Structure 1
Amino acid sequence: MSGTPPQTRPRGEMRRRILRLAGEWLQTRGYHGFSFGQLAEALEVGSSAIHYHFPAKADLATALFRQYREDLVWWCQQMSASPLEASEQIERFLDLEARHLDDQRVCPLGVAAVEYASLPAGACAEAEGLRDDLLEWLAATLDAGRRAGTLDFPGPARDQARVVMAAAQGGLQLARLHGRGDFAAVRRALLANLAGSSV
């Protein structure tokens, strides 16, 4: 018998693997489109390994939306700390949304909107927080752009933030039906409208 100790996986690696695969499936199959048994089979572990980290599917869904929220908060902080103008930050946000098309996934907010009535309460709360965090960042960015003279739009910045969110969500849905050119068209129109008289 060798004196070399057996290799062990880093602490938390299994949890990360579960979240990574479950997140992919949530965004491609929906909350009701997979089971713990399917996760265990795909990860080549026993179901007990899944239940150890997430006692119930509701716990897993809540953790997923919490992670989406944490990722978004980190991204918004990076954008806010960057030298990019507000208009460029809005463009980056739309580019971030477009990546869901490249990955053939539904964005987390889209999943939450469609399945809200059947999602666990904890997941709904995190999804609402995700929406609120994005709304706050968009409103602050739009307001900064208007004050700097690089963006022009009517009404409160928070109302316009909702327009941006709705356009992004709608553009993603149209693109899934007819191709990514629809999202590109929505993106162009939205940015042109935000440029207003500053074009």
Structure 2
Amino acid sequence: MNLRGTIPPHLGNLSFLLSLDLSSNNLSGHLPKELGQLHRLRIIQLSYNGLNGEIPEWLGNLQRVQRLEMENNSFTGTIPQTLVNMSNLEILNLQFNQLSGQVPSSIFRISSMKIISLFSNSLSGSLPNDMCQHLPKLEVLYLSRNELSGKVPSSIGATTFKFWHCSIINLRGSFQEVLEI
């Protein structure tokens, strides 16, 4: 569509909206808080823009969202803990942003999750040892090109991944040990 500028706040008045796809445009600026009124949304696709600022806490109030795709933007700050409230979330794609801090353990408790892609950010810290115990449907996990450290989570051995891509700096333990559990 080649839209330019910021996302208009009055989009928050479209209470009937089920899908918001503004991907692959030239949008910039922060996400307007008025979008938090779109409680019927199932799909949010804002990828491939120049959106920036922190990912807002109010996103967690959109509990019906199944797909949250905001890759290839310039979002900064941490991933909000409130995303755990998105109990229907199946796809979380925040790759290629400038996110920092730890990966919130709460996102590993969304049992509907199938794809988590946090590739190429500046996320740090270790992953929770039980991160895969509450993700029976998880098929894809992309965590590479971050600054993760620590031990390979033992719960990885109990998964049925189709794709697992993770680089952990200062890795302790081994995949052989994990997969033999």
Name the one with the larger strand percent: 2
Shorter-chain TM-score above 0.5:
no
What is the TM-score with the length of structure 2 in the denominator?
0.26
**Which protein, 1 or 2, shows the higher relative CO under an 8 Å CA cutoff with sep ≥ 6?**
1
Q: Larger Cα Rg: Structure 1 or Structure 2?
A: 1
What is the TM-score with the length of structure 1 in the denominator?
0.24
Name the one with the larger helix percent: 1
